[in-house]
Structure 1
Amino acid sequence: MAADRPHKRLDAWNLSMELCREVYALCQRLPREERYGLGAQMKRAAVSVPSNIAEGAARGTSKEFAHFLSVAQGSLAELDSQLELCSAYLGLIDREEAAKVLEKAARVGRMITALRRSLEHRK
């Protein structure tokens, strides 16, 4: 894939790719019976974040980009709930490990919010 893709210059995309790697690693430590249930959902939610940032960046208008950023934020909220469920409610993963991943997800969320605001100011 070409390095000149617009999403590759976005800090939010790059950090969300790191988030995906961490979620995948965390899911490997889930009990076997949850790797294909909750683990698969967590991975899908994580992958959705950089995917939607990339798709939005490739669109022609700020309005479309903002829409895809909104979808990415929704996926972050989904991932947040799943991580919280796994750590605090079910005890399937270590709370400290989950907290590190949740903090990275929060950073990505703040970056996406900043991107959305910058798009609003372009109008």
Structure 2
Amino acid sequence: MNSIKSYKELIVWQKAILLVKEIYLFTGSFPEEEKYGLISQMRRSTISVPSNIAEGWGRMSKKNYIQFLRTAGGSLFELETQIIISAELNFNKNTENIESLIVEISKMLNALIKSLNDRE
């Protein structure tokens, strides 16, 4: 965090923004009746990831930052479950790119949390 001046410089935040775009495109082909169901839930879950990274950064406390990063990770797992559900319901089975991004972001969040914990 020392040389980085903004959360926007974090690759994990940038990847999370990319994930938001991917989810909006992914859910665009869902049935209209899912507009207030799975579409809304998936979009909220994915928006939560970069939002929590940013909010944690702004808290100016390592302990709070780590908690918000963990919350971002929880939202990723929520989204992953929703991706599985949407594929099972045959809404969209083209999940490979999104699943790869989820794994990558999860690993990056875990590495960031570890690096913050190691700075005692």
TM bucket normalised to smaller? over 0.9
Distance, in Å, in 1 between the alignment partners of 2:82 and 2:23 is 11
1:35, distance to aligned residue in structure 2 (A): 2.3
1:120 aligns to what? 117
Query: Are 1:52 and 1:68, in contact at CA under 8 Å, matched by a contact in 2?
Result: yes
| Aligned Cα root-mean-square deviation (Å) | 1.2
Q: Counterpart of 1:118 in 2: which secondary structure?
A: helix
Q: TM-score when scaled to structure 2?
A: 0.93
1:80 aligns to what? 80
1:107 aligns to what? 104
Unaligned runs of 5+ in 2: none
Unaligned runs of 5+ in 1: none
1:5, distance to aligned residue in structure 2 (A): 5.8
The list of structure 1 runs, each at least 4 consecutive aligned residues, that deviate by more than 4 angstroms after superposition, is none
What is the number of residues matched between the two proteins?
117
Query: Are 1:27 and 1:35, in contact at CA under 8 Å, matched by a contact in 2?
Result: no
User: Among the aligned pairs, what percent are the same residue?
Assistant: 36
- Per-residue CA deviation, residues 24-58 of structure 1 (Å, 9 max, x unaligned), is 11111101111221010000000000000000111
Distance, in Å, in 1 between the alignment partners of 2:68 and 2:118 is 17
Letter in 1 for 2:21: R
Question: Larger % of helix: which?
Answer: 1
Letter in 2 for 1:15: K
